[in-house]
Copies of this chain bind each other. A is one copy, B any other.
Amino acid sequence: MIGAGKAGFELDPRLERDTAPVLWLGLCELRLMDDRRWPWLILVPQRPGAVEIHDLTPLDQTMLTFEANTVSEALSQVTGCHKINTGALGNVVSQLHFHVVARNENDPNWPGPVWGYGQREPYRREDLHGFIEKIRARLS
């Protein structure tokens, strides 16, 4: 599933800063939010200018669904979490990106949402790399 980026696609600099690369899927670049409070993956469709899911072509909508659900199931299996939360907000970073977050009943903002809650807490480098390797192994 690893492939090259799409022509003309550039990752938003805030997404670049707050996340680390995991894999390139068929449509999306898959990244890990560098926030150890929650196992939190982000899919970014490699389509320049995309903002809303409903503005993607039907084929891209279907691809995003397939990739997001594959990632969601993998994250659920790797973490053994209680619940997956998914969402596409884009109120701060308008570049279309899709969140897949593993939630547990004792996590920092349960049962509230992860978005907009407190401050990001970066992983230690070895923990970041270890978690990315687990996700890659499950998806490969």
Q: B-contacting residues of A (Cβ < 8 Å)?
A: 51-54, 58, 61-62, 64-66, 69-70, 72-73, 76, 83-92, 94, 103, 109-113, 115-116
Q: Is the CB of A112 within 8 A of B116?
A: yes
> When chains A and B are docked, how far (Å) is the Cα of A86 from the Cα of B53?
9
> When chains A and B are docked, how far (Å) is the Cα of A51 from the Cα of B82?
11
In the assembled complex, how far is the CB of residue A98 from the closest CB belonging to chain B, in whole angstroms? 9
> When chains A and B are docked, how far (Å) is the Cα of A119 from the Cα of B91?
21
Q: Is the CB of B111 within 8 A of A92?
A: yes
For A85, give the chain B residue with the smallest CB separation.
B89
Give the contacting residue for A54; candidates B52, B53, B72, B88; CB below 8 A.
Answer: B72
* Chain B residues closer than 8 Å to A112, beta-carbon distance: 91, 115-116
